[in-house]
Structure 1
Amino acid sequence: MADIQWLDAVDHDAPAPRGKPCEACGTPIEPLDKFCPACGTPNPDYQAPVAPAAKQASPEVVDAQVVDQSHTEQPEQKHFRCETCGAEVATDPDQRSYTCPFCDSTYVIELPQRDTGRQQPEFVIGFAITPEDAQAKFKAWLADNGWYRPGDLKTSAVVDKMKGVYLPFWSFSMRADSNWQASIGEHWYRTETYTTTDSKGNTTTHTRQVQETEWYPLAGRHHHYYSGYLVSGSKGLPQDQALRVQPYQLPALKRYAPWFLAGWFAEEYSVSRDRALEISQQEFYNREQSNVAAFLPGDTHRSLSVSTNFSQVNSDLCLLPMYIASYKYQDKLYRFLLNGQTGRMAGDKPVSWQRIAILVGVIVAVLLVLFLIIAAMNAR
């Protein structure tokens, strides 16, 4: 039996963090941390944030109180739901019409003001890329290999469809405890003698090293604390699409405050926490299998079986910045995504198959001419 422990690297030159040491691993924990960020042990001194009580303002603190209220009051918003893809987005109250940023659909209905009963966001990352920079990046991306783009694609109209949206993401952290078993293989080599016969019938004796593998069973335990995987909370942006513009720099997360959303679209989550948890646990289970496989001794292994239980599950609902441009060309939907924090881009572009056919024809014609020239020179 073998127990596996993973040790995290420590930067000894970094300033000492604040907080009470974790009882299990010694990592500093602040009062607002529900779990240890290193090992996942619950924080016995966890203090849920409490809104400050109202009190009579003195002339010296009037401005400070006004700022504090702007952080706690929820601004008035309109809610729209796309009947095509199911995305539900909150906008400023002066928004008169709305086109879905995920599927470019105008089949959108306005929802009445109501308490949705959904969990409020806990963390947010603000936009670091300005709308002007985002449009410039989109234009450059769209113009790259522009010869292959259809001539009737109106770039200006496409760029105008770009919108900055705060998208909901679920972030989970949890401890994985696994029991595993496998067959471990260790290589050894034996010397083999063999003969060869040439065309004249002469035989020659040779030796070579032949690899053999000895197998034996092994079992053990493994545990690891996983975090940092983001699951899209939007039905309009599937997980495989969201991964194309990740990662986000999560150390930049801030406690959510409504003023972050001023002037931006913000989507309500449409993927439930339970569904997001299933996706996250499947990803962490795959990582756990890889971590166990990387630890196994010997030269090779086979029949690896890993049974994993997850515990100490903690979740956060985060709003993360994204620029989205969805547009249709010849009734086909195309989408461009830009990470509003890092500037990472991904998307699909329409292609002019007529131009590609012309290019292929030119290449074939050039090759044919070269072949004829070479054939004529060889015939002389």
Structure 2
Amino acid sequence: MPDDRQNWPCNQCGADLRYEPGATDLVCDHCGARQPIPEAPGARIRALNEIDLALGLSDDVPPAQMEEVRITPCPSCGAQVEFQGAAHARECPFCATPVAIGTGEERRIKPQAVLPFVLNEVQARQAMTNWLGSLWFAPNGLQEYARKGRAMNGLYVPYWTFDAATRSHYAGARGDHYYETRTVMRNGKRETEQVRRTRWSPRSGWVARRFDDVLILASKSLPRGYTDNLAPWDLSALQPFRGDFLAGFTAEGYTVPLADGHATGREVMEGIIRQDIRADIGGDEQRIDRVETDWKEETFKHILLPIWMAAYKYNGKSYRFVVNGQTGKVQGERPWSAWKIAFAVLAALIVGGIVLAVTQSR
């Protein structure tokens, strides 16, 4: 069987095939031939099985879950650029810096599953253009500039997913609001007012939650805020990892080690546990003094999620946009039009002046 990460040749003309978003075929742009992506029986079940976290953290992952990959860090932005097939040089998808392959290979945890692209480049560009058009105070020419800009890059971004069964004991307090009436003197007059007080009572108890597929970005090349805001992802559409889905696209190697990803995942889960505790305590306010969590059945997966990315220079400054390749949700940096902001401020001052003049004339 060919290497999962090499280029796939067309059976008709020998040209490289590419995966067509939203389909289950590989397409040849040279002769138009289409080849279905085969799926081995039981592959989906095997691919979506979790790996014991303890094995991953102790570098004892089963050999079948490991692979040798050719990865070279970008000298400009540090992204881990993967090389496929016979390629020895390419552009970094994040900053367009030329990258030449280094010597040797690196042993890494293999992606178990991939979420194939649903949107093609035309659809992703339209989603981005619509998003730019909805921005307040954006320069008038930006939308048209982006529409005519350079091609977007289709990129598979690495993620860790974490599962855990938790049971947490907590101690804290419940605050219930009540009101007291008191008399005060204002301008020589006696008035009554309601003052809110809080009655606190101790609380303790247990909460339990089973976490499934907590997503943690395994890349440092994109701001986490960008990728977090691309959620939600429909992970029920995950497919067993095959190089076919990567044909014509770029895959980034993970730069966040499993241990670091797990630490971030724990923080996310602990935040949700505290929400559960507050709901269990009830009342108008809650105070959490202590939480002790028992973590069991911790597992993980390494998966790839699809993102379309574009970078544009506008008035000498670079702006980067990312589009969820499954849903079309957009995030990114945006320029501001100084003229539009100044006009809005001026208009607000004029309106405020008119209102003030009318009020004073009465």
Question: Is the structural similarity TM-score above 0.5?
Answer: yes
Closer, same or farther in 2 for the Cα pair 1:309/1:77, shift >3 Å? closer
**1:323 counterpart (305, 308, 312):** 308
State whether structure 2 residue 85 is matched by structure 1 residue 85. Answer: no
Q: Which residue of 1 aligns with 2:8?
A: none
Confirm or deny: 8 A CA contact 1:82 1:105 kept in the other structure: no
SS in 2 for 1:83: coil
| Residues 52-106 of structure 1: per-residue CA shift (max 9 Å, x gap) | xxxxxxxxxxxxxxxxxxxxxx9x997553222211223555868644333x342
- Could you tell me whether the CA contact under 8 Å between 1:162 and 1:325 is conserved in 2? yes
Higher Rg of the two aligned structures: 1
- Aligned partner letter, 1:335: R
Which deviates further from its counterpart, 296-305 or 93-102? 93-102
Q: Does the 8 Å CA contact 2:320/2:332 hold for their aligned counterparts?
A: yes
Matched, 1:118 2:108: yes
Deviations 1:127-174, CA, capped at 9 Å, x for gaps: 000111112222333344587316589725873142010110000001
Cross-structure match for 1:101: 93
Q: Does structure 1 retain, via aligned residues, the 8 Å contact 2:171–2:204?
A: yes
1:176 deviates by 2.1
Q: Give RMSD over aligned pairs.
A: 4.3
2:145 counterpart residue number: 155
Once residues 184 and 371 of structure 1 are traced to their aligned partners in structure 2, the CA distance between those partners, rounded to angstroms, is 47
The answer for the alignment partner of 1:239 in structure 2 is 224
Partner of 1:177: 167
For 2:158 and 2:257, the matched residues in 1 are separated by 11
* Structure-2 separation of matches of 1:365 and 1:215: 51
Partners of 2:196 and 2:343 lie apart in 1 by 54
Q: What aligned pairs does 1:264-275 form with structure 2 within 5 A after superposition? A: 264-275=249-260
**Pair 1:81–1:158, CA change in 2 (3 A):** farther
What pairs up with 1:248-327 in 2 under 5 angstroms?
Answer: 248-298=233-283, 300-327=285-312
Aligned 8 A contact 1:79 1:113 in 2: no
Residue type of the alignment partner of 2:341: I
> Matches of residues 324-339 of structure 1 in structure 2 within 5 Å?
324-330=309-315, 332-339=317-324
Give CA-to-partner distance per residue, 1:246-277, whole Å, 9 cap, x none.
Answer: 11101111111111111111111111111100
C-alpha deviation, 1:185, in angstroms: 4.0
How far apart, in 1, do the equivalents of 2:318 and 2:340 lie? 21
Tell me, in whole angstroms, the C-alpha distance in 2 between the residues paired with 1:169 and 1:245.
13
Report the 3-state secondary structure (helix = DSSP H, G, I; strand = E; otherwise coil) of the residue aligned with 1:219: strand
Shift of 1:317: 0.3
Tell me the distance in 2 between the aligned counterparts of 1:112 and 1:211. 67
Is 1:165 the equivalent of 2:151?
no
Q: Deviations over 1:318-370 (max 9, x none)?
A: 011000112344554321111001111111222231343245446656776x5
- Deviation per residue, 1:201-233 (Å, 9 max, x gap): 9x89x8x98776554333223322112321111
Deviation at 1:304, TM superposition (A): 3.3
User: Using the alignment, how far apart are the partners of 2:197 and 2:350 within structure 1?
Assistant: 55
The TM-score, its normalising length taken from structure 1, stands at 0.66
Which amino acid is 1:318 matched to? I
Return the alpha-carbon distance in structure 1 between the equivalents of residues 196 and 358 of structure 2: 50
Instruction: Give the Cα–Cα distance (whole angstroms) in 1 for the partners of residues 337 and 204 of structure 2.
Output: 57
| 1:127 pairs with 2:112 | no
TM-score by length of 2: 0.69
Q: Distance in 2 between matches of 1:341 and 1:295?
A: 36
- Distance, in Å, in 2 between the alignment partners of 1:156 and 1:165 is 19
CA–CA separation in structure 1 for the residues paired with 2:183 and 2:146: 73
Aligned AA (1:169): Y
1:35-63 per-residue CA deviation (whole Å, 9 max, x = no partner) reads: 79xxx9xxxxxxx9999xxxxxxxxxxxx
Distance 2:332 2:144 in 1: 17
| Corresponding residue of 2:335 | 350
Task: Kindly provide the amino acid, as one letter, of the partner of residue 240 in structure 1.
Answer: G
In the aligned structure 2, how far is the partner of 1:230 from the partner of 1:220? 28
Instruction: Supply the AA of the counterpart residue of 1:123.
Output: A
- What is the identity, as a one-letter code, of the residue corresponding to 2:166? A
8 Å CA contact retained: 1:172, 1:315: yes
Q: Which residue of 2 aligns with 1:216?
A: 201
Aligned partner of 1:56 in structure 2 is: none
Q: Which runs of 5+ in 1 are unaligned?
A: 1-29, 41-47, 52-73
Judging changes above 3 Å, is the alpha-carbon distance between structure 1 residues 32 and 139 closer, same or farther for their aligned structure 2 residues? closer
Q: Would you say how many aligned residue pairs link Structure 1 and Structure 2?
A: 308
Match of 2:23 in 1: none
Amino acid at match of 1:324: M
Instruction: Check the 8 A contact 1:101/1:326 in 2, yes or no.
Output: no
Secondary structure at the aligned position of 1:278 is classed as: helix
Greater strand share, structure number: 2
